[in-house]
Amino acid sequence: MKKVKTLFLCCLLAITAQAQKQFHLISPNGKLSTTITIGSKLTYDIKCNGQQILANSPLSMTLDDGTVWGDNARLTGSSQKEVDQMIDSPFYRSNRLRDYYRSLTLSFKKGWSVEFRAYNQGIAYRYISQQRKPYNIAQEEIDFRFPQDNEAIVPYVVPRSNDPFYSAFENTYTTARLSRLDKEKLMFLPLVVDAGNGIKVCITESDLENYPGLYLSGAKGNNSLTGVHAPYPKKKEQGGHNNLQMIVKEREPFIAKVDGARSFPWRMAIVTTNDKELAECNLTYLLGSSSRLDDISWIKPGKVAWEWWGDWNMDGVDFVTGVNNDTYKAYIDFAATHGLEYVILDEGWAVNLQADLMQVVKELDLKELIAYAAAKNVDIILWAGYYAFDRDMENICRHYAQMGVKGFKVDFMDRDDQEMVAFNYRAAKTCAKYKLLLDLHAMYKPSGLNRTYPNVLNFEGVHGLENMKWSPASVDQVKYDVMLPFIRQVAGPMDYTQGAMRNAVKGSYYPCNSEPMSQGTRCRQLALYVTLESPLNMLCDTPSNYAREAECTDFIAKIPTVWDETRILDAQMGEYIVTARRKGETWYVGGITDWTARDLEIDCSFLGDRDYTGQIFKDGINAHRTGRDYKHESVRLNKQSLLKLHLAPGGGFAIRIQ
């Protein structure tokens, strides 16, 4: 039972000589505040413990008839409330979350309003329209104006064509002063600005439904990050990867179509005073719309034996490996042996270049595979190219659900204009209708969809381990890993696809498609199952490699993918992180470092009032030379324990405590 406490707040209204009106909104703990000013422009700012974090920043929406919501706005009313409730958060980092905020809603003539919310960890706002007739949004003005030339940590868009809005939303991070950001490149969300004094500002959005995703640009200069949206598609052609995409050839002079009254996405500035708080922040999930599924009992998170990363490549078998029943039966056997819930049939099971998921390659007997897997308590998930899935979604979902398939990994969307965002919601709804899971690959960051449709278990939008199949040694994945929990993961879970058993120290890595490797140590790969979040989590390597590493494989296989509780024990963005997660009475602790060897002390005060046994996998004494070197030991622990661990360069550790 949720309990909501609503209070009317004292919201100061001041009228200046210039006929400006000001409203002040303060977070429940008093740390954050925003002043909203209504004048020739509608603006807001943010202060943290009295420090100016965001200068007066304008917001507005321009309709295609020239109406501007925000300029010279005429206030008709205001309302305030305080909400303090617990919400269920299934298949997330904790099973329940506290939703605690103060809100202010300002209503204006011409049927629109703006709602602001002040949480202890951030300030968010959204537009709300009461208009019932259809209209188009020509543009939305979003400006984050910082008072100083702060340092920013940003992912630049890497366009797949001349269209800047056609990308996989994957890149490592660039660190630069606001004034030094590349003014020719767009940045995708989330991104972080270091405001000094330990304060970080993470910018992202939530409840992104039927509206284009937000990019930021530094083109205006003046320490500002300015919002940009992909215009609505006007003309498209089938093409792209294996003819599985719809490529936008021409766009409309507006960004969104609106059919009637609606709320728009939340824009949020997460503001935290230390990096632990940032990694723990749940605002993206909290600001998503509530679940639309009455029954979620059928949704089963879990682990996946995945063949694509290892290129269907096994040794020690008596058949030719590839896209065939023998190979997939071997993956099913591996999954069954280790208690893994799923096997994915990635790209290759459907006839290539046809964009038709009803055409199965002759080398596969899907019915036989599904029956074989079911007999071993393993379920099947199918990969699907975006356009092939979209063009016949209802029939595809019905057909394969009846066959016994349990979900789809849909890939190569590579866009976040309004049309594509609407597709993701439609796919989630249709899959839920047929009790199918959904993993959205080649996808923008999570923006609340996993709360609204809990059958959407995972998202890509991350420079994950798959990139190590082709990335040169100059790409620093180890550094990226210690940035992720503070930036991309703040938005939600990610299909990172960890679990490599070939592990390269610095100087030893090279890209290889058929026998890929990770950067960093073996224990780093184990730790990533704890430090990163994936309710549907891959074991990326081959059954042959896992068979040679039975001890590590057994440990990985037992790590949960959803949690009752998550705590960040110690963290410094870009350097290291230590994460503790609890499932039932069992705790898992994982830690990773950058390329700097590091000694960490783990405070075990989070444990209960009893003695525990900890199974520790830590970097071996020669892990700085041989990435696969590790040591497994058992220790006794209690809440008074201080556990000291040494991490090799690019190293990590993982502990099961029970």
Catalytic residue positions, numbered:
411, 466
- Strand-pair partners of 517: none
| CA distance linking residue 173 with residue 131, whole number of Å | 41
- Which uninterrupted H or E stretch holds 432? helix 418-433
Please name the residue ranges forming H helices in 435-563.
449-452, 477-481, 488-491, 522-531, 543-548, 550-558
Tokens 């606001």 correspond to what residue?
A: 178
> DSSP alpha helices (H): ranges in 434-486?
449-452, 477-481
Separation between Cα atoms, residue 206 and residue 211, nearest integer Å: 11
Helical packing angle, 418-433 and 393-403, nearest 10°? 30
Helix ranges (DSSP H) in 456-607: 477-481, 488-491, 522-531, 543-548, 550-558
Contact 382, 342 (CB under 8 A): no
DSSP 179-236: GGS-TTS-EESPEEEEEETTEEEEEEEE---SSPPEEEE-TT-TTEEEEEEPPPEEEE
Q: Do residues 75 and 88 lie in contact, with contact meaning Cβ atoms separated by under 8 Å?
A: no
- Angle at the Cα of 277 (from 273 to 282), degrees rounded to 5? 130
Contact (CB, 8 A) for 528 and 541: no
Q: What is the Cα gyration radius of the chain?
A: 25
Exposed e or buried b per residue across 398-410, where buried means at least 16 C-beta atoms within 10 angstroms of its C-beta: eebbeeebbbbbb
The beta-strand segments (E) located in 594-651 are 598-603, 612-619, 630-637, 642-647
- Cα separation, 617 vs 551, in Å, equals 10
- Residue 76: name the closest of 21, 151, 152, 154 by CA: 21
211-231 burial by CB neighbour count: b if 16+ within 10 A, else e?
A: bbbbbbbbeeeebbbbbbbbb
